[in-house]
Structure 1
Amino acid sequence: MGKRLRAQRIGDGSPTYRAKSWRRLGKIELPSPQKTGEAVVVDILHDRGRNAPVAMIRCEDGQEHLMLAPEGLKVGDRIMIGTAGEAKPGNVLTLSEIPEGTPVFNIETKPGDGGKLVRAAGSYAVVIGHEGDRVSVQLPSGEIKEMDPRCRATVGVVAGGGRLEKPLVKAGKRHHIMIAKGKHYPRTRAVAMNVVDHPFGGGRGKNAGRPKTVARGAPPGQKVGLIAARRTGKR
């Protein structure tokens, strides 16, 4: 009898596949919209399981807050939050206040949600236009998204870029990275499994032996491969 599929085990939410949230520094997001004014960078921290450094800032009311650090930010720098100011790296402004052509990151999808888009190390989006009550932002994927001008973002590029340029060299390095992110490692290819362990298992060579497209409503034991694919093949 074969074991349950990886997709089923991940969905079950067992400790093996659960991110170790207690190892993290805390929630990394933009300060509350009610907090405006100047803030000072107290420290630059490393957050395990996160590929970008984190800045600890102290607001005017004395409270400290964690947010993603842009390139060039250092301890002692002062940044502006929520008030109309220049588009300087580290400043948190609404999209309506950010000039066209400015790189931004940690963008809110709804006003006040703390930032959801463009958070990986070295990534950035670009404000490309202001049209009426919408702001056009080009994401790292190239997609152009129309957003609410009240949504906030941090000016600059996420620090920590270039992390993929240095090769890992050995499996142990990859192992520690995956464990910090709460991901299972190593990952066996489905076509390398036995026929009882996966729908793509068995047969000769690297061939699934069946179509890899599967319906959105397929049962858990069958829902592997290209789920609800809009199209297949080369463009």
Structure 2
Amino acid sequence: MIKLKKLFLGFNKKSGRSNGRISVRHKGSFHKKLYRKIDFFRNKYNISSIIKKFQYDPNRNCYLSLLSYKDGTYNYVLKSENCKINDILISSLKKIILLNGNSTILKNLQIGIYINSIEEKPFKGATISRSGGGFSELIFKDNNFAIIKMSSGKKKKISIYCMATIGKICNLFLKKKMYKAGQNRWRGVRPTVRGVAMNPVDHPHGGGEGKTSGGRHPCSPWGKKTKGLKTK
């Protein structure tokens, strides 16, 4: 039996509140869950590891891979596509075999390769392309910098000494169908009431005789436009 207590933390529920006041609406009553510590640094260089099993993480929309290293330690990493149990993975600053799940710096990768879990600055830890189905494409590199194209189409210029993992993130949970309202409540999503069903004191769309459809441009409870208004 693998002892993994060190890889788990208690999860403090905020329920969308700051100093007791609601700052994010429609959050609360989560099911209990633990936080899994994930290795976003991949800094156990040149020590081979084997994938022991895949695990569901309630805090993410992708599976985790449990890695067992030769020195006897264990770590969670985000599961890359096409990885299988008992695959051998490695992380290195030198050139490595370009297999899904292996990690190295952008300097060692070829242009056109798909990557995930990318650092924005060297030794900072992965912050880019970490969600289910997420990936970026390496489209250019020179002696100092590389340009990656994210799945949104946005391009980013980063150092060639940033770490990245080869392949796309698995996306098993992107198309999850809810079969009852209770399944959203387990996830901490509380009901949302339509503005037109409220009273005038509660929402700009509220009030009116019988059923009305707002009578003004769609807006938030605080009067900010919600369609077409540029936010950036």
- Bin the TM-score by the shorter chain: 0.7 to 0.9
Higher helix content, 1 or 2 = 1
2:222 aligned residue? 222
Deviating above 6 A after TM superposition, structure 1's stretches of 4 or more consecutive aligned residues are none
Question: Which one-letter code corresponds to 1:130 in the other structure?
Answer: K
Residue 74 of structure 1 deviates from its aligned partner by 1.7
The partner residue of 2:114 within 103, 124, 128 is 103
1:187 aligned residue? 192
Contact 2:204/2:219 (<8 A) preserved: no
1:171 aligned residue? 180
The partner residue of 1:59 within 60, 69, 81 is 69
Contact 1:31/1:65 (<8 A) preserved: no
Does residue 80 of structure 2 align to residue 70 of structure 1? yes
Contact 2:27/2:190 (<8 A) preserved: no
**CA 1:10 to 1:162, structure 2 compared with 1: closer, same or farther past 3 Å?**
closer
Question: Which one-letter code corresponds to 2:39 in the other structure?
Answer: E
Mapping of residues 79-90 of structure 1, within 5 Å:
79-83=89-93, 84-90=95-101
Number of residues paired by the alignment? Answer: 211
- Deviation per CA, 1:13-38, whole angstroms, max 9, x where unpaired? 76983696961341323245354432
Contact 1:53/1:159 (<8 A) preserved: yes
Unaligned segments of structure 2, at least 5 residues = 1-14
Higher strand content, 1 or 2 = 2
SS in 2 for 1:116: strand
User: Kindly, what percent of the aligned residue pairs are identical?
Assistant: 22
Contact 1:192/1:206 (<8 A) preserved: no
Contact 1:107/1:115 (<8 A) preserved: yes
The partner residue of 1:10 within 11, 16, 26 is 16
SS in 2 for 1:176: helix
Question: Which one-letter code corresponds to 1:190 in the other structure?
Answer: G
Instruction: Calculate the TM-score normalised by the size of structure 1.
Output: 0.74
For the residues of structure 1 that align with 2:31 and 2:161, how far apart are their CA atoms?
31
For the residues of structure 1 that align with 2:31 and 2:120, how far apart are their CA atoms?
23
For the residues of structure 1 that align with 2:29 and 2:115, how far apart are their CA atoms?
28
1:207 aligned residue? 214
2:11 aligned residue? none
Question: Which one-letter code corresponds to 2:180 in the other structure?
Answer: A
Question: Which one-letter code corresponds to 1:110 in the other structure?
Answer: K
For the residues of structure 2 that align with 1:141 and 1:10, how far apart are their CA atoms?
27
SS in 1 for 2:107: helix
Residue 58 of structure 1 deviates from its aligned partner by 1.9
Residue 171 of structure 1 deviates from its aligned partner by 2.7
Contact 2:137/2:148 (<8 A) preserved: yes
Question: Which one-letter code corresponds to 1:171 in the other structure?
Answer: K
For the residues of structure 2 that align with 1:36 and 1:13, how far apart are their CA atoms?
46
